[in-house]
A and B are shown apart, each in its own frame.
Chain A
Amino acid sequence: DTGVSQNPRHKITKRGQNVTFRCDPISEHNRLYWYRQTLGQGPEFLTYFQNEAQLEKSRLLSDRFSAERPKGSFSTLEIQRTEQGDSAMYLCASRGDSANEKLFFGSGTQLSVL
């Protein structure tokens, strides 16, 4: 499978715990995006990378959230001191650099904070 891969698919954690999600983009894609989606809503942009550089962060990305893409390939999204309001689907997407490149999504990581 050469699509966007996300792990784990599901994560259940207790409030206050830290969690980390991983995204492996399509191999030739330089741009990698993180979105969050709650039930019944469209995906909301969190942050994106061009290679290893984090170019934009949404105001939704609180201080408890941090994303990295150290080698310009896979990315991790960490949430510290999770809260029940963090429960959502976390989607990763990737695309190439040119203006006509389409954005391809992974299947997401479903986070449930108890």
Chain B
Amino acid sequence: GESVGLHLPTLSVQEGDNSIINCAYSNSASDYFIWYKQESGKGPQFIIDIRSNMDKRQGQRVTVLLNKTVKHLSLQIAATQPGDSAVYFCAESGSGNTPLVFGKGTRLSVIA
């Protein structure tokens, strides 16, 4: 069935280094993928999204890579800052307006 998961539950990086957060999904019909950042006590905050007709998309300090062959999604954060410390979720949905299905999240800790 549909499921989205993450490879690592926690990730610690030095301030200024690049971070890579990975996500695997199982639904080959997934059409839309999105990364959210969630800080303690807050709702998920949109970071970046990508559709299945693309394999890379860049934002400000963030890049999302999609490998449909192995059903893998990653989020790269350049020059990681203390403010990037949070839990990061990937989510996916099928075609149309099907609700997003979330993975379990990766907690990113930035070491100053």
Contacts and interface: CB of A to CB of B under 8 A. Distances in A.
Interface residues of B, number: 21
Contacts of B43: 4, 6, 91, 93, 105-108
Contacts of A4: 43
A25 to B, nearest CB: 13
Nearest to B5: A42
Given A91-B44, A107-B43, A45 B100 contact: yes
A56 B99 contact: yes
Contacts of A102: 34, 46, 49
A108 B40 CA distance: 11
Interface string A93-104: 100010100111
Interface residues of A, number: 24
Contact of B97 (A6, A31, A105): A31
Contacts of A97: 97
Contacts of B4: 42
Interface in B91-110: 91, 96-97, 99-105
A8 interface: no
Contact of B102 (A44, A56, A107): A44
Nearest to B101: A45
B82 to A, nearest CB: 21
A89 to B, nearest CB: 8
Interface of A: 4, 6, 31, 33, 35, 40-45, 48, 56, 91, 93, 97, 99, 102-108
Interface of B: 4, 34, 36, 41-46, 49, 89, 91, 96-97, 99-105
